[in-house]
């Protein structure tokens, strides 16, 4: 019999990680049954507020003798009950088992959990309809992610190798030879990516929290990912590691929408016109984008660093395609920008002072008249409009790697531009 297992919401900022539990279970259960493919790390809607970090859930599938299935379920429930961080109020684990084929209805639920907000009740209803067995611990919100991870189509995917720390090191700074990461990355990029930020000269594979993850190595080629892992010099013991298949960096979360359709927690790609000049508040850059259905505030927040400079170059009237997540900021629905593509840019006009008509000297502004610096000639202040080049190209601009959402596809990968380019090929509305 085929048995699918989904687990989610076992961790908190104080420790644990659902992938750690998943890796332990995958290893343990592989002794009892045949794994079908690697375990799956499925990232769901990045905009929902309950997430600890990246809204990840874990699923795995085995071919098992019918008689072993009850033991498999017992082991999963035992591990979750022993290892989940129950102390934290925001940790509400959920476990789901599904036997046999994945029904279409579950696929649809999965995509909804990826792109919108769903409730625990909706998850329970879907579980009953598809005949999945679910177990809720505390509020049991984790059944949303568990069910979605089982049903996820995973048509496009990448890999992440997760290496874990010995328990005695949890909570201490991670020890990895940084030079070795840069070397490995040079060798494997872009088949393995996001290992370092070359501009800031920082290593990205090591997280900073109290969780058991020592490092995460991402890539589209699993051999390259494994080789990077071998090349990196860890200066503390690696307890064990697991390669996951994942929907990270697939852009699966983005769907085309009209601005008027955007709801809180949606992830979307929209096409619209910049409605007015940008403004700044607390190092965040904002502007408004409109189409024939409505208007939304768009934000490039402080952590997106230099990306904000590109946003500052947009002018009212520019037509752009914008991708991002919808959140509430200061009580206003805001599209949190991940990437944008300028489709049509308005001309940029600067008003310049003319040269002195008498001697060709430079004119200086004096209130409402101009005065020549050389010969003193005075004339009314009439500036000349001059079209200057726009310093934005017709290309996609994306946030830097450390500000990028797990699901967002980096431009360096094939297909990283597709979701935006598709929309640029349609006639404007």
Q: How far apart are the first and last CA of the chain?
A: 51
Q: Whose Cβ is closer to ligand ATP: residue 90's or residue 293's?
A: 90
Piece of 4-12, 165-173, 232-240, 409-417 that binds ligand ATP (CB under 6 A): 4-12
By CB under 6 A, is residue 247 in contact with ligand ATP?
no
CA distance 186 to 177: 15
Work out which of 3, 55, 188, 225 binds ligand ATP, going by CB under 6 A: 55
- The DSSP string of 316-352 is TT-EEEEEEEEEEETTEEEEEEEEEEEEE-PPEEEEE
Under the criterion CB under 6 A, does residue 248 sit at the interface with ligand ATP?
Answer: no
Nearer Cβ to ligand ATP, position 39 or 342?
39
Half-sphere exposure of 367 (CA within 13 A, CB side): 1
Total residues contacting ligand ATP by CB under 6 A comes to 23
**Per-position DSSP letters for 76-92, written without gaps between them:** HHHHHHHHS-TTSTT--
Give helix 142-151 / helix 104-115 axis angle, nearest 10°: 120
Least Å distance, CB 424 to ligand ATP, is 28
Q: Tell whether residue 92 is a contact of ligand ATP (CB under 6 A).
A: yes
3-state secondary structure of 93: coil
Are 234 and 242 in contact, with CB atoms under 8 Å apart? no
Out of 15, 56, 151, 325, the residue judged to bind ligand ATP by CB under 6 A: 56
Binding ligand ATP (rule: CB under 6 A), the pick from 27, 53, 128, 358 is 53
Q: Is 50 in the site for ligand ATP (CB under 6 A)?
A: yes
Establish whether the linkage from the previous residue to 190 is cis, with ω within 30° of 0: yes
Which position among 118, 262, 289, 311 is part of the footprint of ligand ATP (CB under 6 A)? 118
Among 3, 48, 72, 205, which residue interacts with ligand ATP (rule: CB under 6 A)? 48
Could you give the dihedral angle defined by the CA atoms of residues 40, 413, 419 and 278, in that order, rounded to the nearest 10 degrees? 110
Instruction: Candidates 43-51, 102-110, 178-186, 229-237: pick the segment binding ligand ATP (CB under 6 A).
Output: 43-51
- Asked if 142 interacts with ligand ATP (CB under 6 A), we say yes
Nearer to ligand ATP, 66 or 89 (CB): 89
Spatial distance between the Cα atoms of 283 and 280, rounded to a whole number of angstroms: 6
Say whether residue 417 binds ligand ATP (CB under 6 A): no
Under rule CB under 6 A, residue 52 binds ligand ATP: yes
Least distance to ligand ATP, CB of residue 88, Å:
9
Residue 389: CB minimum distance to ligand ATP, A: 43
Per DSSP, 67 falls in state G
* Tokens describing residue 22: 């998943």
Confirm or reject binding of residue 160 to ligand ATP (CB under 6 A): no
Rounded to the nearest whole angstrom, what is the least distance from the CB of residue 249 to ligand ATP in the complex?
A: 15
Verify binding: residue 138, ligand ATP, rule CB under 6 A: no
> Least Å distance between CB 403 and ligand ATP?
16
Q: Does 45 contact ligand ATP by CB under 6 A?
A: yes
Q: Please report how close the Cβ of residue 265 comes to ligand ATP at its closest, in angstroms.
A: 7
If the CB atoms of residues 81 and 428 are measured against ligand ATP, the closer one turns out to be: 81
Residue pointed to by tokens 């005695």:
168
Q: Are 109 and 154 in contact (CB under 8 A)?
A: no
Report which of 71, 56, 51, 57 is spatially closest to residue 3, judged by C-alpha positions. Answer: 71
Minimum CB separation from ligand ATP for residue 328, in Å?
15
Q: Which of residues 6-35 bind ligand ATP (CB under 6 A)?
A: 8-9, 11, 17-18
Cβ contacts of 257-261, under 8 Å, gap ≥ 24: 258/291, 258/292, 258/293, 258/294, 258/429, 259/289, 259/290, 259/291, 259/293, 259/294, 259/295, 259/296, 260/291, 260/293, 260/294, 261/293
44 touches ligand ATP (CB under 6 A): yes
Footprint (CB under 6 A) of ligand ATP, residues 306-325:
none
Binding mask 265-304 for ligand ATP (x = CB under 6 A): ----------------------------------------
143: left (phi over 0), alpha (psi -120 to 50) or beta: alpha
70, with CB counted inside 10 A (0-12, 13-18, 19+), is: exposed
The Cα–Cα gap between 70 and 170 comes to 33
CB of 216 to ligand ATP, least distance (A): 11
DSSP character at residue 237: -
Residues lying near ligand ATP in the complex (CB under 6 A) are found at 8-9, 11, 17-18, 44-45, 48, 50-56, 92, 113, 117-118, 141-142, 144-145
């Amino acid at each position: 019999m085929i048995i699918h297992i989904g687990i989610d919401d076992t961790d908190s900022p104080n420790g644990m990680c659902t992938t750690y539990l998943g890796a332990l279970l995958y290893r343990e259960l592989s002794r009892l049954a045949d794994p079908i493919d690697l375990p799956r790390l499925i990232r769901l809607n990045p905009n929902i507020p309950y997430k600890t970090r990246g809204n990840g859930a874990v699923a795995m599938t085995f071919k098992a003798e019918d008689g072993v299935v009850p033991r498999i379920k017992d082991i999963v429930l035992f591990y979750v009950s022993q290892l989940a961080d129950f102390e934290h109020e925001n940790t509400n684990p959920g476990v789901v088992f599904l036997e046999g084929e994945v029904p279409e209805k579950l696929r649809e639920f999965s995509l909804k959990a990826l792109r919108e907000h769903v409730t625990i009740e909706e998850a329970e209803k879907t579980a009953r309809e598809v005949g999945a067995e679910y177990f809720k611990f505390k509020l049991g919100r984790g059944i949303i992610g568990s069910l979605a991870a089982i049903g996820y189509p995973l048509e496009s995917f990448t890999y992440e190798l997760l290496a874990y720390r010995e328990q005695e090191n949890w909570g201490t700074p991670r020890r990895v030879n940084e030079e070795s990461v840069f070397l490995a990355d040079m060798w494997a990029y872009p088949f393995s990516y996001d290992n370092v930020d070359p501009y800031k000269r920082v290593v990205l594979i090591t997280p900073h929290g109290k969780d058991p993850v020592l490092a995460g190595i991402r890539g589209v080629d699993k051999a390259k990912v494994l080789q990077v892992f071998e090349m990196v010099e860890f200066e503390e013991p690696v307890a064990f590691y697991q390669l996951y298949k994942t929907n990270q960096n697939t852009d699966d979360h983005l769907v085309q929408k009209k601005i008027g359709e955007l709801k809180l927690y949606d992830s979307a790609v929209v096409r619209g016109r910049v409605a007015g000049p940008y403004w700044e508040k607390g190092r965040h850059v904002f502007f408004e984008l409109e189409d024939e259905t409505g208007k939304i505030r768009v934000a490039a927040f402080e952590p997106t660093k230099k990306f904000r400079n590109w946003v500052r170059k947009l002018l009212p009237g520019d037509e752009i395609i914008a991708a991002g997540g919808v959140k509430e900021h200061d009580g206003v629905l805001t599209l949190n920008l991940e990437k944008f593509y300028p489709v049509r840019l308005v001309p940029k006009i600067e008003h310049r002072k003319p040269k002195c008509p008498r001697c060709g000297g430079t004119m200086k502004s004096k209130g409402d008249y101009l005065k020549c610096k050389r010969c003193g000639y005075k004339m009314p202040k009439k500036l000349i409009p001059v079209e200057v080049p726009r310093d934005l190209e017709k290309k996609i601009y994306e946030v830097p790697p450390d500000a990028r959402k797990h699901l967002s596809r980096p431009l360096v990968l094939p297909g990283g531009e597709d979701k935006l380019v598709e929309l640029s090929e349609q006639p404007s509305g």
